[in-house]
């Protein structure tokens, strides 16, 4: 029964480690890890699903300590907030890295197998997993320099002396693709003298050496631990940079793709209900390559969506968003997109390379500067720097257009979320989008990091006071987003596998047509991306069949379409036949 599985593991290992001859032994080791996982008595049992995903799926992205209450354990406070406000709204929670860490708000992991004791325990994670499906991060490319693996590397203790990548500082590494403008190699004082180690993201985030199979086996064991502890989704952080080969770009190398495929094989065998997601903030074609031949990631992040939605609303012109959406290739079988407009990171601009003209990107950046945002840079091979991401709260990014701020902030922001909820894939909302968190400039001053602008830590009492006061933007956004999500979860046309077609009329509108898998429902999502009232005679909307009504209408009696469809500034309608 296990022979085909074992043979598959061996073939992947041969593709990754072509110069080794112990592929059979390594495959047997992986099989033993899978069997130990199956025999585990700590596994959080998850209710079986009829299908991998459905229109019911909505993901909330949050840190384990994004909401705090004095005297309470943050993960318990988070769990209480989720159960109290969102149990009937979202069914999946992405808790960003909740492990002991030394920097980068969790992405410099000190211990992959423990929960940050300042935030809670595995029992607190399991309590949330009881009510929500969880996404967990496998921070696979690098670890903290305070990680015991790196401490043992410094001490030249086996096997960790081979866990990291040493490079002669005289080596030409100019071809390496850089997501940051920090030096690629960082000096480290070891028991063998000063060594220079590979550090793609920062001097506190030391890249791991996957050319050493021990490292791969270590992470397969960690992967299965997370599934034991309740993970339904596994996010492979910064996976594109995993494999290094001097003289190449060191991004998207064939061995990297083979590692992802091997992890998929492990999950398909040991935990077939788990969804594997790759996080690759790169241009569109490179991002989509992680679907493989339906044998790699189940899902990829739709990284082009955040900057293009923001650009459309900031410019009052949906043409670039429409062109991009119209060219999205059909999904491979068994694959989907994770759609988002904001996350713990900034709004990446690399994914719009070749889509938005440079002048449009620069105009958008200039506008975000006026709204209190920052821009992070990356280093290029020629020594120059270029924009990598915009750091700003999405709510404040919507405070105006390139002409300046105005009074449509809430409407513009809700339009951005309505677009995201309508397109093909599974929607993921960042906690700070859900509650309309403004720029946290004080947090930036405290940390010295521009990404902190969008990583506010709310006091639960303060937040709930704002959410209970209907005149606050937080209450208005929170209430309307919950309403929209509940409506969305009832529409079969919003199933991740439902067909998507883009309808073109003019640059004022972004229009998506969704058709359910069984053709029982057709739904049109029309979004006015301008600050003008649009009067659209139904005769000019010949693509719409008769008998349509607006699911998003606040008054059911007024949901049926008249002879003219009137769209208020930044209004979205979801039209389907009654």
439 lies in the same domain as 543 = no
277: which strand partners? Answer: 235, 299
Q: What mean pLDDT is predicted for residues 107-123?
A: 98
Give pLDDT, residue 183.
94
- The domain boundary residue, chosen from 489, 509, 531: 489
Per-residue H/E/C for 118-155: CCCCHHHHHHHHHHCEEEEEECCCEEECCCHHHHHHHC
434 lies in the same domain as 518 = no
374: which strand partners? Answer: 391
**Is 493:500 a contact under the CB 8 Å cutoff?**
no
Residue-range definition of the domain harbouring residue 448: 282-489
Grade residue 113 by pLDDT with cuts at 50, 70 and 90. very high
Inside any domain, residue 303: yes
- The domain boundary residue, chosen from 489, 519, 551: 489
Other Cβ atoms less than 10 A from the Cβ of 96: the count is 24
Give pLDDT, residue 15.
98
The answer to whether 344 is annotated as binding is: yes
Q: What length does the chain have?
A: 578
Q: Is 66 helix (H, G, I), strand (E, B) or coil?
A: coil
The answer to whether 235 is annotated as binding is: yes
- The domain boundary residue, chosen from 436, 471, 489: 489
303 lies in the same domain as 347 = yes
Is the pLDDT confidence value at 534 over 90? yes
Q: Is 90 helix (H, G, I), strand (E, B) or coil?
A: coil
Is the pLDDT confidence value at 413 over 70? yes
407 lies in the same domain as 556 = no
Inside any domain, residue 24: no
How confident is the model over 362-395, as pLDDT tens digits? 999 999 999 999 998 888 878 788 888 999 999 9
**Is 306:342 a contact under the CB 8 Å cutoff?**
yes
Inside any domain, residue 18: no
> In whole angstroms, what is the distance from residue 207 CA to residue 199 CA?
5
Q: What are the DSSP E strand ranges found in 199-274?
A: 205-207, 231-236
Report the CATH number that the domain containing residue 396 is assigned in CATH: 3.20.20.80
Grade residue 506 by pLDDT with cuts at 50, 70 and 90. very high
**Is 216:242 a contact under the CB 8 Å cutoff?**
no
Inside any domain, residue 114: no
Q: What is the dihedral of CA 94, 95, 99, 103, to 10 degrees?
A: 100
The answer to whether 257 is annotated as binding is: no
Average pLDDT, the chain: 95
The answer to whether 345 is annotated as binding is: yes
Report the CATH number that the domain containing residue 532 is assigned in CATH: 2.60.40.1180
- Residue, of 457 and 379, whose pLDDT is higher: 457
> In whole angstroms, what is the distance from residue 197 CA to residue 194 CA?
10
443 lies in the same domain as 462 = yes
Grade residue 510 by pLDDT with cuts at 50, 70 and 90. very high
471 lies in the same domain as 572 = no
Give pLDDT, residue 304.
94
456 lies in the same domain as 510 = no
Range in 41-45, 99-103, 574-578 with the lowest mean pLDDT: 41-45
Give pLDDT, residue 341.
98
**Is 486:538 a contact under the CB 8 Å cutoff?**
no
Grade residue 260 by pLDDT with cuts at 50, 70 and 90. very high
The answer to whether 268 is annotated as binding is: no
| pTM score | 0.96
Share of the chain above pLDDT 70, in %: 99
Q: What mean pLDDT is predicted for residues 442-465?
A: 96
Half-sphere exposure of 365 (CA within 13 A, CB side): 20
Question: Of the residues 57, 124, 133, 237, which is catalytic?
Answer: 237
519 lies in the same domain as 456 = no
Q: What is the DSSP string of 201-220?
A: SBTTEEEB-TTSHHHHHHHH
Give pLDDT, residue 1.
60
Give pLDDT, residue 525.
98
311 lies in the same domain as 458 = yes
> In whole angstroms, what is the distance from residue 576 CA to residue 550 CA?
7
Share of the chain above pLDDT 90, in %: 88
Q: Is 396 a catalytic residue?
A: no
The answer to whether 451 is annotated as binding is: yes
Inside any domain, residue 375: yes
485 lies in the same domain as 512 = no
Q: Is 40 helix (H, G, I), strand (E, B) or coil?
A: coil
Grade residue 44 by pLDDT with cuts at 50, 70 and 90. confident
In the chain, the number of structural domains is: 2
In which residue are the tokens 């907030």 written? 81
481 lies in the same domain as 356 = yes
Give pLDDT, residue 557.
66
Range in 67-71, 166-170, 206-210, 574-578 with the lowest mean pLDDT: 574-578
Q: What mean pLDDT is predicted for residues 213-228?
A: 98
Inside any domain, residue 366: yes
478 lies in the same domain as 503 = no
Nearest to 283 by CA among 320, 252, 242: 252
Inside any domain, residue 211: no
Question: Cα 20 vs. chain centroid, distance in angstroms?
Answer: 35
> In whole angstroms, what is the distance from residue 341 CA to residue 240 CA?
21
Give pLDDT, residue 539.
83
Inside any domain, residue 387: yes
């Amino acid at each position: 029964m296990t022979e085909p599985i074992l043979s598959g593991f061996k073939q992947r290992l041969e593709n990754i480690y072509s110069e080794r001859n112990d592929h059979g032994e390594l495959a047997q080791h992986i099989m033993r890890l899978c069997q130990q996982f199956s025999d585990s008595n700590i596994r959080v049992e998850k209710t079986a699903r009829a299908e991998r995903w459905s229109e019911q799926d909505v993901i909330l992205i949050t840190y384990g300590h994004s909401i705090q209450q004095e005297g309470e354990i943050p993960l318990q406070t988070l769990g209480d907030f989720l159960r109290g406000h969102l149990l009937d709204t979202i069914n999946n929670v992405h808790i960003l890295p909740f492990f002991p860490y030394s920097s980068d708000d969790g992405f410099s992991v000190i211990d992959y197998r423990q929960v940050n004791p300042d935030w809670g325990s595995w029992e607190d994670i399991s309590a949330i997993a009881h009510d929500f499906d969880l996404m967990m991060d496998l921070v696979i490319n690098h670890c903290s320099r305070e990680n015991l693996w790196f401490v043992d590397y410094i001490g030249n203790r086996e096997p960790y002396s081979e866990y990291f990548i040493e490079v002669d500082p005289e080596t030409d590494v100019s071809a390496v693709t850089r997501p940051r403008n920090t030096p690629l190699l960082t000096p480290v004082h070891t028991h063998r003298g000063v060594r220079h180690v590979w550090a793609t993201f920062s001097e506190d985030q030391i890249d791991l050496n996957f050319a050493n199979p021990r490292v791969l086996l270590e992470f397969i064991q960690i992967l299965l631990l997370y599934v034991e502890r309740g993970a339904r989704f596994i996010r492979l952080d910064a996976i594109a940079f995993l494999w290094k080969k001097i003289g190449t770009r060191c991004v998207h190398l064939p061995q990297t793709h083979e590692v992802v495929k091997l992890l998929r094989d492990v999950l398909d065998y040991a935990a077939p209900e788990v969804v594997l997601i790759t996080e690759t903030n790169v241009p569109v074609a490179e991002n989509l390559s992680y679907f493989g031949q339906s044998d790699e990631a189940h899902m990829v992040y739709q990284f082009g969506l955040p900057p293009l939605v923001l650009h459309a609303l900031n410019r009052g012109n949906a043409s670039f968003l429409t062109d991009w959406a119209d060219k999205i290739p059909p999904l491979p079988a068994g694959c989907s997109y994770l759609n988002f407009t904001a996350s713990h990171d900034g709004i990446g601009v690399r994914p719009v390379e070749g889509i938005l003209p440079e002048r449009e990107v620069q105009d958008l950046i200039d506008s975000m500067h006026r709204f209190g945002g920052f821009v992070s840079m990356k280093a290029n091979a020629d020594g120059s720097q270029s924009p990598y991401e915009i750091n700003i709260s999405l709510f404040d990014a919507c405070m105006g257009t390139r002409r300046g701020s105005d009074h449509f902030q809430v409407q513009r922001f809700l339009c951005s979320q309505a677009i995201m909820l309508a397109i093909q894939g599974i929607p993921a909302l960042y906690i700070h989008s859900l509650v309309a968190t403004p720029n946290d400039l004080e947090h930036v001053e405290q940390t010295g990091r521009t990404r902190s602008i969008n990583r506010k830590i709310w006091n639960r009492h303060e937040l709930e006071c704002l959410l209970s006061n209907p005149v606050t933007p937080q209450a208005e956004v929170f209430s309307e987003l919950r309403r929209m999500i509940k409506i969305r979860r009832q529409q079969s046309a919003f199933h991740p596998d439902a067909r998507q077609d883009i309808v073109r009329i003019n640059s004022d509108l972004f229009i998506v047509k969704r058709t359910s898998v069984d053709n029982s429902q057709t739904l049109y999502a029309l979004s006015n991306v301008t600050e003008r009232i649009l009067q659209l005679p139904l005769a000019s909307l010949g693509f719409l069949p008769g008998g349509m009504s607006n699911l998003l209408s606040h008054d059911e009696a007024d949901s049926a379409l008249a002879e003219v469809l009137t769209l208020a500034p930044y209004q979205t309608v979801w039209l389907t036949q009654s």
